[in-house]
């Protein structure tokens, strides 16, 4: 299958991007300067393709990369590369596995390859430590620390990433990335600024979030909490006391614990409810006590420039621009 060539504009943008981002020097490069627009430019230009299983997609891995397809990816250092990261993304109902096929790096000389269960952008993590099932230290899997004990790492949600640092030219590694069906997806990063989704938590004590890294209009079509199904539509303060509720959040980062709570919903209803949120990141987050089956269905679409201008005086918009 022939791969679509990048346009000159995309090639130029990629060159500028490689020179301007990933300036952090910590071991996990958590304070990178990757922005949402820069990151999604890679995703939008990545050709999504379906292939027979016997024909694996292969290409080189870049120092800064975005991968939305299954395949085998090889990085070979032509010079020292000290601050690199590759972001992986799957469909909402999938998780990602990263397998080490071959590794030729100098762990004793300061090289490393670390898989992170989620994404890190500008020091913020998705999912947040409050919503992820694992403690933070278990979400980092360092090849040099685990070696042959962990040849494969699987994410808990539809995004994962790899940090790596290589000091010597000629050093290399090869990864195979696969996607697997997740029967009970929880935390999701949307691939698109438009779509629909149903989030359901079947009597589990957990927090789940659906993150859309765009300013969007959210339309909630169905909302059902087990302990309030018989009550009419209502939004009220103090929902946290109930133990089961849905939050709409907005902000400019990816850590849901640092976003502005726009409204809480804890009374079940049916029928559309619309809200325009002019933030870079819009999140639907469900908190579940584990005692009930909770469910929320919603659709979302990208706000156009005229709509963004219209809501500039909105408190949420002011918050997003000022933080």
Query: What share of the chain has pLDDT > 90, as a percent?
Result: 54
Are 63 and 125 in contact, with CB atoms under 8 Å apart? Answer: no
Residue 34: DSSP 8-state = -
pLDDT bin (cut points 50, 70, 90) of residue 26 is very low
Residues 309 and 225 reside in one and the same domain: yes
For residue 114, which of 143, 89, 137, 77 has the smallest C-alpha distance? 143
Q: Are residues 73 and 216 in the same domain?
A: no
Domain annotation covers residue 1:
no
Q: Does the structure show a pLDDT above 70 at 187?
A: yes
Whichever domain contains 118, its CATH number is 2.60.120.290
pLDDT in tens, 151-173: 899 999 999 999 999 999 999 99
245: in domain: yes
State both tokens at 28. Answer: 């996990």
pLDDT: which is higher, 278 or 267? 278
Residue 22 binned pLDDT confidence (cut-offs 50, 70, 90): very low
What domain range includes position 314?
190-322
pLDDT tens digits, 27-41: 444 555 555 555 555
Quick check: 322 pLDDT over 60? no
- Checking 24-30 for CB contacts under 8 A at 24+ apart, the result is 24/83, 25/82, 25/83, 27/112, 27/114, 27/165, 28/114, 28/116, 28/120, 28/140, 28/163, 29/83, 29/84, 29/85, 29/120, 29/163, 29/165, 30/120, 30/123
Structural domain contains residue 2 = no
Q: Do 203 and 96 fall within a single domain? A: no
Q: Are residues 128 and 219 in the same domain?
A: no
How many domains does one find in the chain?
A: 2
What average pLDDT does the segment 60-68 reach? 96
Q: Do 148 and 166 sit in the same domain of this protein? A: yes
Is 175 a member of any domain? yes
| Same domain flag for 210 and 144 | no
| pLDDT value, residue 102 | 93
Calculate mean pLDDT across residues 191-196.
Answer: 92
Exposure of 30 by Cβ count < 10 A (0-12 exposed, 13-18 middle, 19+ buried)? middle
Q: Which tens digit of pLDDT belongs to each residue from 233-244?
A: 444 446 767 788
What global pTM score does this model have? Answer: 0.79
Q: Which of 27-31, 58-62, 108-112 is predicted with the least confidence, judged by mean pLDDT?
A: 27-31
At residue 61, the pLDDT reads 97
The mean pLDDT value for 53-72 works out to 91
Boundary-marking domain end, from 181, 209, 225 = 181
16 with 111, same domain: the answer is yes
Interval 285-290 mean pLDDT: 89
Does residue 279 share a domain with residue 212?
A: yes
Among 15-24, 232-241, 258-267, 309-318, the range of highest mean pLDDT: 258-267
pLDDT tens for residues 40-50? 555 454 444 44
Of the candidates 129, 112, 111, the residue with the CA atom closest to the CA atom of residue 120: 129
Domain end, chosen from 181, 208, 235, is at 181
**Cβ contacts of residue 94 below 8 Å, gap of 6+?**
158, 179, 180, 181, 182, 185
At which residue do the structure tokens 């890294």 appear? 213
Same domain, 168 and 200: no
State mean pLDDT over 89-101: 96
Contact yes or no for 83/25 (Cβ under 8 A): yes
Are residues 97 and 49 located together in one domain of the fold? Answer: yes
Residue 119 confidence class, pLDDT cut points 50, 70, 90: very high
């Amino acid at each position: 299958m022939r791969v679509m060539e990048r346009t000159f504009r995309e090639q130029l943008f990629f060159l500028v991007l490689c020179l301007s981002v990933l300036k952090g020097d910590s071991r996990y490069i958590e304070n990178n300067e990757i922005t949402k627009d820069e990151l999604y430019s890679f995703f939008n230009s990545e050709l999504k393709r379906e292939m027979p299983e016997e024909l694996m997609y292969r290409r080189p891995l870049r120092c800064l990369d975005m991968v939305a397809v299954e395949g085998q990816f090889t990085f070979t250092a032509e010079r020292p590369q000290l601050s690199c990261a590759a972001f992986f993304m799957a469909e909402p109902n999938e998780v990602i596995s990263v397998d080490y096929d071959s590794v030729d790096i100098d762990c004793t000389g300061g090289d490393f390859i670390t898989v992170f269960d989620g994404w890190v952008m500008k020091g913020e993590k998705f999912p947040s430590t409050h919503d992820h099932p694992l403690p933070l230290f278990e979400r980092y899997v360092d090849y040099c620390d685990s070696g042959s004990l962990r040849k494969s790492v699987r994410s808990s949600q539809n995004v994962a990433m790899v940090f790596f640092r290589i000091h010597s030219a000629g050093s290399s590694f090869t990864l195979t990335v696969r996607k697997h069906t997740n029967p009970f997806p929880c935390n999701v990063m949307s691939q698109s600024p438009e779509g629909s989704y149903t989030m359901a938590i079947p009597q589990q004590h957990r927090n789940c979030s659906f993150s859309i890294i765009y300013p969007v209009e959210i339309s909630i079509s169905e909302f059902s909490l087990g302990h309030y199904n018989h009550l009419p539509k209502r939004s009220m303060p103090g929902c946290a006391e109930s133990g089961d509720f849905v939050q709409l959040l907005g902000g400019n980062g990816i850590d849901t614990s640092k976003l502005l709570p726009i409204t809480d919903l804890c009374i079940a209803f049916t029928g559309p409810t619309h809200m325009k949120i002019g933030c870079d990141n819009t999140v639907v987050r469900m908190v579940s006590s584990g005692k009930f089956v909770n469910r929320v269905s919603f659709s979302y679409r990208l706000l156009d420039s005229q709509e963004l201008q219209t809501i500039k005086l909105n408190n949420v918009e002011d918050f997003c621009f000022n933080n």
